[in-house]
Amino acid sequence: MSEKTRRIAFIPGDGIGIEVTAEAIKALEALIKSHGLAVDYRVFDWGAEKYLREGVSLPEGAFDIFRRDYAAIFIGALGDPRVPSNQHAADILLGTRFNLDLYVNQRPVKLLDARLCPLKNRSEQDVDFVIFRENTEGLYVGMGGVFKKNTPDEIAVQEDMNTRKGVERILVYAFEYAGAHGLKKLCMSDKANALPFGHGLWQRAFAEVRKRYPGIESRHLYVDTLNMELVRDPSQFEVIVTCNMFGDILSDLGAALQGGLGLAPSANIHPGQVSMFETVHGSAPNIAGKNVANPMAAVLTVGMMLDHLGHAQAAARAEEAVREAIRENVTTPDLGGSFGTRETGDWIAARL
Ligand SMILES: NC(=O)c1ccc[n+]([C@@H]2O[C@H](COP(=O)([O-])OP(=O)(O)OC[C@H]3O[C@@H](n4cnc5c(N)ncnc54)[C@H](O)[C@@H]3O)[C@@H](O)[C@H]2O)c1
């Protein structure tokens, strides 16, 4: 490995995560060859199998190794019915997000073929926006507790944690991204009418940050209205920025608009530091091991990762190859095709 070669850590994880990661690696290998990329990778066998066998989610010092030796991390998916607590998934996935402070969760929603949109009379141009989800705070920090568990008087409390710094940095990232990509419309979404404390902070930070970007037409929508508007007319959106939980939910709606979870990639970013890339979908135990999972989200995720590493041409090629596969009906059953995971992945890798 030359000094300039950048290293990627692949964590296939569980269920279909393992299957789609194999296809992502095929695509990466093809792109390394065709574009002469100075990129190398290593695969880590962390997931339910290892957790059940050894009681270890990930080895001590794992995050330091990532920080020191890796440019990016790719995670397939985590979650296995044999681990009902989901402990290993929380350790690996949330552990990576929180320990590496990956505060930007970027979820592009791009319709690659109009036939895949569940809405009537929508073209590819109508569904093309990006969601920025705050990734390190909100309801997902795990603050709270249960009192009188399993009794009729049980009480459960889940805290929504918002910091001024945390909210401001994701807002700034979204505005900067819009500016850098020639996007003119930004929508911040919260539920400040019902959550005046936590989301009141979002309102105050937004009012201040937007003043710094007069060239971007920014507006606010409550999340329930945004939800409705995304279905009614997705073409009005270019950049959406929101909190952890609403971003999680909205990006599944976004995935549906672009043809389903099998087509949705995402990035977890801390600018200038090692970042993590993953499909939006989970480990789908209901279809695992059947060679039917759609590998396209994983290939598009490789594209996002390469784009982040400065290989824009290779990234564009990955997206184009997926578009071609859809056009040629080389698809898995979720998109109406009869190809398997491996066969779709092979076809895409050959195009790359
Ligand atoms: N980032 C992650 O690792 C992640 C994300 C979501 C859920 N999960 C975990 O995954 C497990 C299953 O969760 P779930 O069922 O709610 O969500 P899921 O995304 O795994 O599956 C939801 C539905 O979409 C289908 N689907 C998902 N990806 C697909 C693909 N690539 N091709 C074709 N169909 C696909 C599944 O078959 C299922 O019907 C749980 O343990 C959950 O905690 C992990």
> Which residue is closest in CA terms to ligand 1's atom 37?
284
Would the CATH topology of 1-102+271-352 be identical to that of 104-269? Answer: yes
Tens-digit pLDDT profile for the chain (352 aa)?
445 889 999 999 999 999 999 999 999 999 999 999 999 999 999 999 999 999 999 989 999 999 999 999 999 999 999 999 999 999 999 899 989 999 999 999 999 999 999 999 999 999 999 999 999 999 998 899 999 999 999 999 999 999 999 999 999 999 999 999 999 999 999 999 999 999 999 999 999 999 999 999 999 999 999 999 999 999 999 999 999 999 999 999 999 999 999 999 999 999 999 999 999 999 999 999 999 999 999 999 999 999 999 999 999 999 999 999 999 999 999 999 999 999 999 999 999 9
Alpha carbon of residue 300 to chain centroid: 11
Cα 281 to ligand 1 centroid, rounded to whole Å:
5
Which atom of ligand 1 is the closest one to the Cα of 296? Answer: 31
Beta strands in the chain (DSSP E): 6-13, 39-43, 72-77, 104-110, 128-134, 144-147, 155-158, 185-190, 217-222, 239-242, 265-269, 275-279
**Nearest residue by C-alpha to atom 21 in ligand 1:** 284
Contacts of residue 17, defined as CB under 8 A and 6 or more positions apart, other chains included, come to 47, 75, 76, 77, 78, 279, 282, 283
Structural class in CATH, domain 1-102+271-352:
alpha beta
- For the segment 225-276, what is each residue's pLDDT rounded down to a tens digit? 999 999 999 999 999 999 999 999 999 999 999 999 999 999 999 999 999 9
Write the pLDDT tens digit of every residue in 134-153.
999 999 988 999 999 999 99
Q: List Cβ neighbours of 121 (8 Å cut-off, separation of 6 or more).
A: none
Cβ within 8 Å of residue 279, ≥6 positions away: 17, 20, 76, 77, 261, 264, 265, 266, 297, 298, 301
> Ligand 1 centroid vs 151 CA: distance in angstroms?
32
- The secondary structure of 50-81 as a DSSP string is HHHHHS-SS-TTHHHHHHHH-SEEEEEE---T
The residues spanned by each domain of the chain are 1-102+271-352, 104-269
| Ligand 1 center to 3 CA (angstroms) | 38
Long-range CB contacts (< 8 A, 24+ apart) of 228-236?
230/254, 230/257, 231/119, 231/257, 233/126, 234/109, 234/119, 234/122, 234/126, 234/127, 234/129, 235/122, 235/125, 235/126, 235/127, 236/185
Minimum-distance ligand 1 atom for the alpha carbon of 295: 31
Write out the catalytic residue numbers. Answer: 140, 191, 224, 248, 252
What is the fold of 104-269? Isopropylmalate Dehydrogenase (3.40.718)
Residues with CB under 6 A from ligand 1: 16, 20, 77-79, 86, 89, 93, 261-262, 278, 281-287, 293-294, 297, 334
